[in-house]
Structure 1
Amino acid sequence: MRGYVLSIWNWFDPIYYFFSRLTLLPCEGAKSNIFRIRITKYKGRNVVLSDGTRINKNDTLVKIHLHNAKLLIELKDIKSDLKKAKFMYQYVQKSLPEVENYIRECRQAYMVKGIVGITMLNKGCERLGFEVVDIYSPIYKWFKWFAFLPIELLSNKQTTWESLKNQKPNYLFMSTNKLSEMYRNSMSE
């Protein structure tokens, strides 16, 4: 059943990609970049990051989206949750230098304050440089939880209703300064 759902998802993914105005990033090495990104205006509550960067409503950010269809295909043969987490961590770590490069070279670089993503997978994010921030709007939080539900069901065979109820989506933020500090010279490694 999962195979059929993944096939359908892969069929619809290019349509989603087109309408979401996302951009694919290149990545050096064997794997392509796991992120699809776009420049956006932030619409949440004001946030102050640990390095002092203030993210206010309507500030320019680069929104990062995991390429879930690709990720689910690559994770389908990995049985252990620990191995899945390690695989995803390394994939994100190898993709972030291209996000940094994209921001540095884009014509709006001077306006971009940082990157933002929304995920229910926030374990280990701090080691990658992200700061986890709660989503304040209950309606938006519920909407994102519902949107992540198919991904969660497809990626974990042992998912239970209780485990799903306890998960919540969060914002992930990283300032452009921290992104550059951590990933600017990582592209050649």
Structure 2
Amino acid sequence: MNSSLLMLWGLWDDVYQRCTRLRYIEKGANIFRVVPLRYRGETLVTSDNQKIYNGDLIVKIHIHNYYFATLCKGVKDDLRLALLLRRHIMLSLPKLAAYLETMAERESIKGIVGTTMLHKGVQPLGFSISDVPMNWFFRYKRWYLRLLLRIIHPDGKRRVQTWNHEMPLKRVYMSKEALLERYGTNQSPTGDLL
């Protein structure tokens, strides 16, 4: 990604941040931004057999795409990109757990939920995966994430064309208990993202 495009994206990201309820876990040092909200969708059963029902309070997780793009600047190799993403997710999950532990809504929160095309290899991290309904919202979100991939990835245009049918949008989620057990105070991150 060229410097001018990255600078413009940074300006847009700042405006976007001010216009949304997304909260930084640790600005400039964590790949996640979050927002507590009510879950809308089918019942989710987590890897530790907890259930997240429609209307339950969750922490919606978002990968901070602009931050990740700044980390990827100059990286051309797919393997290095995957390792970079893995490293930052592994560093970010314990901080996410610590953040959740300090939230006023902590007792009511059922889990963390995100929507992504980067779902391969997340199960060893404690996440469960399910399909999303392809309604207008998720179609728009998939289009937006594919656009971001074209921008972030050094060979993004070819990737999007090649992965057209191999890049389904998925919901990834984990119970609050599993997050705190795996990544909470005095826990070490486990699992691989590759």
Question: What is the alpha-carbon distance in structure 2 between the residues aligned to residue 118 and residue 56 of structure 1?
Answer: 17
Distance 1:50 1:127, change over 3 A: closer
Question: What is the alpha-carbon distance in structure 2 between the residues aligned to residue 12 and residue 158 of structure 1?
Answer: 23
Deviation of residue 61 (structure 1)? 0.5
Q: Tell me what 1:89 maps to.
A: 86
Q: Does 1:36 align with 2:36?
A: no
Q: Please tell me whether the aligned partners of residues 115 and 169 of structure 2 are also in contact (alpha carbons under 8 angstroms).
A: yes
Q: Please tell me whether the aligned partners of residues 47 and 126 of structure 2 are also in contact (alpha carbons under 8 angstroms).
A: no
Q: Tell me what 2:172 maps to.
A: 172
Question: What is the alpha-carbon distance in structure 2 between the residues aligned to residue 9 and residue 164 of structure 1?
Answer: 24
TM-score, structure 2 as length reference: 0.87
Alignment deviations for residues 141-184 of structure 1 (CA, whole Å, 9 cap, x no partner) = 31111111221101223232532422121111010111011101
State the aligned residue count: 186
Q: Does 1:26 align with 2:23?
A: no
Q: Please tell me whether the aligned partners of residues 45 and 136 of structure 1 are also in contact (alpha carbons under 8 angstroms).
A: no
Question: What is the alpha-carbon distance in structure 2 between the residues aligned to residue 188 and residue 164 of structure 1?
Answer: 34
Alignment of 1:1-189 (within 5 A): 2-26=2-26, 32-159=29-156, 160=158, 161-166=160-165, 167-186=167-186
Question: What is the alpha-carbon distance in structure 2 between the residues aligned to residue 150 and residue 143 of structure 1?
Answer: 11
Greater shift, 1-10 or 149-158, is seen at 1-10
Runs of at least 5 residues in structure 1 that lack an aligned partner in the other structure = none
Question: What is the alpha-carbon distance in structure 1 between the residues aligned to residue 137 and residue 23 of structure 2?
Answer: 24
Distance 1:127 1:188, change over 3 A: closer
Deviation of residue 186 (structure 1)? 5.0
SS of 1:110's partner is: helix
Question: What is the alpha-carbon distance in structure 2 between the residues aligned to residue 20 and residue 163 of structure 1?
Answer: 33
Deviation of residue 81 (structure 1)? 0.7
Q: Please tell me whether the aligned partners of residues 181 and 187 of structure 2 are also in contact (alpha carbons under 8 angstroms).
A: no
Distance 1:175 1:165, change over 3 A: same
RMSD of aligned Cα (Å): 2.0
Deviation of residue 78 (structure 1)? 1.4
Question: What is the alpha-carbon distance in structure 2 between the residues aligned to residue 186 and residue 71 of structure 1?
Answer: 27
Deviation of residue 187 (structure 1)? 7.1
Identity %: 29
Output the amino acid matched with 1:56: Y
Deviation of residue 115 (structure 1)? 0.4
Runs of at least 5 residues in structure 2 that lack an aligned partner in the other structure = 190-194
TM-score, structure 1 as length reference: 0.90
Output the amino acid matched with 2:172: L
